[in-house]
Amino acid sequence: MFKNRTSFEKLLSLLQGASWALAIAGGGYAFLLFSPFGFFVALFVGLFLFLCGFFFVVIFEIAQIQIDKLDELKKQTKLLEKIAKTDEDEKILH
């Protein structure tokens, strides 16, 4: 059920969580901080900070997907090598 995760994957997960925190808390804090300057200014600044944090969420998610894709390709390669080996063995026996 749980796969063995490398320290890099754990770090990637931590950074992704920190990016979500930056996006949500940073956007909310910036909105509250700039609310005395007007609703639209506060909304713009809050949205900008949210999008900055969300950019890093997307980057770290793409990195995680690439790691998962590499693991899956390794599994498929092992299976294909096993199939090729059994195919060669059957040709030798016939």
DSSP characters for 35-59?
GGG-HHHHHHHHHHHHHHHHHHHHH
pLDDT digits (tens, 9 = 90+) for 35-82: 999 999 999 999 999 999 999 999 999 999 999 999 999 999 999 999
Neighbours of 3 (CB within 10 A): 7
Angle at the Cα of 62 (from 58 to 68), degrees rounded to 5? 145
pLDDT of 92 strictly over 80: no
pLDDT of 87 strictly over 50: yes
**Tokens 């809050």 appear where?**
46
Tokens of 24: 């949500």
Provide the whole-model pTM. 0.76
d(CA 64, CA 21): 18
- Between the CA of residue 56 and those of 14, 26, 74, what are the distances in Å? 12, 13, 27
Confidence band (pLDDT; 50, 70, 90) for 93? low
CB 16 within 8 A of CB 9: no
Residues constituting the chain: 94
